[in-house]
Chains A and B, each alone.
Chain A
Amino acid sequence: MNKRKIIEEKIFKLLTGIATYSLIAILGYIIAIIFINGFSSLSFDMITKTPSGGYYYGGEGGVLNAIVGSLYIALGATFIAIIIGVPAALFINVHLIRYKRTQNFIRYLLDALWGIPSIVYGAFGFALMLYLGMNASLLAGIITVALLITPIIIRTFDEVLSTIPKGLHEASLAMGSTKTETAFKVLFRQGFSGFITAVLLGFGRGIGDAASVLFTAGYTDLIPKYLDEPAATLPLAIFFQLTSPIPEVRDRAYAAAAILTIIILIISLSARFLSRNYSKSNIK
């Protein structure tokens, strides 16, 4: 009897261990494949030139249009999402602090909103665009991506804000500050690490998302100069160029994938590092 117990324990420890280590292996495998293909096609021209002769057929040039377009869209969308998201997150944690049920209900809705797939946001953005009489453009892309990442930013920031002790909040009010001052001068600073994580998470999601910009931002070989011009993005550069019959064009897709993966890696790791760094000076 006892022996069977121990054998069962060993078997399952082994099985679960294999499952865990295989996750590390999968991540390593994906990154290795992306980098092996990407670095052999990555060159100086690739990141400093726009494609020439059409993105699907012309072999010359690089993916500068997609890099710049992606940065524009992700930065613009993150900016809008901060403007909408930060006050909303602060409101939940300052004004609604006495209403636990309302707080939980709002968090519940936000979590559900987080689950809506980006293609639906894309379709909605497209419908909105037609309604407003806009064409596929940088602005339409920015608005759609902003809608997509706002719930993420609110919820991530809110998660950190909700751990701030109530005493700090009460102390600030007792000193005679208004709720606005409590929100922006006390809670925002105390939860700054959460703000950084939220912004980086939103930015990473925004720069990597393809389905939402597919309809709304369009695709072009040029670098957009105004908000009403279409813009290329890195994920779409991968998607459109990967199936090309011409090897040079496929190289551009591989290079774009390597660039995008590096950006995501940097964002992921720096979010971890920065949030630890900024929470050091918090009032405990």
Chain B
Amino acid sequence: MHFKRRITDRVNNIWMVATLAIVLFLPLIMGIALYAKSIPIFDAQSLPSLLGSSNWSPNDGKFGFWPFIFSSIYVTVLSFIFSAPLCLFAAIYLTQFATRRLVHFMHPVIDILAGIPSVIYGMWGILVIVPFVGDVLAPVFGVKTSGYSILAGGIVLAVMCIPYMLNMLLESFNAVPTGLKEAALSLGATRWETVKHVILRKSFPGIISSFGLGLAKAFGETLAVMMVVGNMVQISGNPFKAGYPLPALIANNYGEMMSIPLYDSALMFAALILLVVILAINLIFRYFIYKTQKA
């Protein structure tokens, strides 16, 4: 009996370590696999020209990723401009002003918003945001557009990132010690002054990290953006023009990538860019959070 228990313990320990090791080495394995797949394109073109060139013609073997990187950054920044103030304000309201009932009601609301799949956001974007941009906003600014544009992508992406950013902001605001708030209030500060001078300062690292991780999330989002952004290879500062972010490039072309030489390698390289950029942002900002939590 005793022997059996010990054997079970041993076997189980090995199994536990193995599963944890698999999961922890997953990013490394993914990076290596994607890198191995993109070696052919490194042989054909140098890294700076891959990233910096805007000549995209796979049939001639020319792969310049700059238009896609540019679109990705543009959509991400646009979505950040829409969502960041909204999240910050909502987080302040929910932690400082709101009644207990509203807070309890908001938890499932945020959960559901976070749980809705990106395709649903994409469909909502096609049904609501695209016509709104094309028929309402465009005439106001005097431009002609189908509505499938960087702007539409930015709006849909902003809505998608809200629950994600809001959750992290709420966490960092709730971590501010109550004593600090009470001290400010007892000195005669109004609630807003407490927020402005105490809470925002105290949770500044948390706010920065939430925004950073929100940006990373927006950068990698695929389907919702791809459905509304228009998918045309071009570089333009005009938000009413169509764009073509990196994730959309991968998702759109997997069907034909085996028929054109180096194309599959190029798409794997695109995935590698996403992995490296997003993993780096995540590691940096999460490190920031852990550091400040300790202090």
Contacts and interface: CB of A to CB of B under 8 A. Distances in A.
B138 interface: no
Contacts of B219: 117
A9 B86 contact: no
Interface string A243-284: 000000000011001001100110111011000000000000
B44 interface: no
Interface string A185-220: 000000000000000010011011111001100000
Contacts of B27: 109, 112-113, 116
Given A115-B213, A261-B116, A127 B34 contact: yes
B97 A16 contact: yes
B278 interface: yes
Contacts of A242: 123, 126, 227
B236 interface: no
B190 A9 contact: yes
Nearest to B163: A23
Nearest to A86: B19
B76 to A, nearest CB: 12
B90 A239 contact: no
Contact of A34 (B86, B123, B278): B123
A26 interface: yes
B118 A210 contact: yes
A88 B23 contact: yes
A217 to B, nearest CB: 12
A267 B219 CA distance: 27
Interface stretch (B51-59, B106-114, B139-147, B178-186): B106-114
B124 A34 contact: yes
B177 interface: no
B123 A22 contact: no
A19 B19 contact: no
Interface string A218-243: 00000000000000000110110010
A87 B117 contact: no
Contacts of A207: 117
A127 B112 CA distance: 33
Given A20-B93, A123-B267, A235-B117, A117 B222 contact: yes
Contacts of B97: 13, 16-17
B67 interface: no
A272 B111 contact: yes
B267 to A, nearest CB: 7
B282 interface: yes
Interface in B256-295: 267-268, 271, 274-275, 278-279, 281-283, 286-287, 290
Contacts of B282: 111-112, 115-116
Given A88-B19, A88-B20, A120-B271, A23 B221 contact: no
What bracket does the count of chain A residues touching chain B fall in? 35 or more
A257 B126 CA distance: 13
A13 B192 CA distance: 8
Contacts of B247: 117, 119, 211
Contacts of B78: none
Interface stretch (A39-47, A51-59, A147-155, A162-170): A147-155
A27 interface: yes
B286 A111 contact: yes
Interface in B1-35: 5-6, 8-9, 12-13, 15-17, 19-20, 22-24, 26-27, 30, 33-34
Contact of B128 (A23, A33, A178, A214): A33
A5 to B, nearest CB: 5
Contact of B17 (A91, A104, A122, A204): A91
B94 interface: yes
B123 A115 contact: no
B93 A19 contact: yes
Nearest to B118: A210
Contacts of B251: 119, 122, 211, 214
A33 B113 contact: no
Contacts of A267: 115
- Ranked 10 nearest A-B pairs via Cβ: A117-B220, A208-B117, A19-B89, A123-B271, A16-B93, A91-B16, A178-B9, A115-B282, A112-B282, A211-B222
Given A19-B93, A23-B86, A204-B115, 15 more contacts: A9-B191, A16-B89, A16-B93, A20-B102, A24-B105, A108-B286, A116-B220, A120-B34, A183-B16, A215-B254, A235-B223, A238-B122, A238-B123, A239-B227, A257-B119
Interface of A: 5-6, 8-9, 12-13, 15-20, 22-24, 26-27, 29-30, 33-34, 37, 83-85, 87-88, 90-92, 95, 104, 106, 108-113, 115-124, 126-128, 131, 147, 150-151, 154, 178-181, 183, 201, 204-205, 207-211, 214-215, 235-236, 238-239, 242, 253-254, 257, 260-261, 264-265, 267-269, 271-272
Interface of B: 5-6, 8-9, 12-13, 15-17, 19-20, 22-24, 26-27, 30, 33-34, 36-37, 85-87, 89-90, 92-94, 96-98, 102, 105-113, 115-124, 126-128, 159, 162, 166, 190-193, 195, 213, 216-217, 219-223, 227, 247, 250-251, 254, 267-268, 271, 274-275, 278-279, 281-283, 286-287, 290
6 contacts: A24-B105, A30-B159, A91-B19, A119-B251, A208-B119, A264-B117
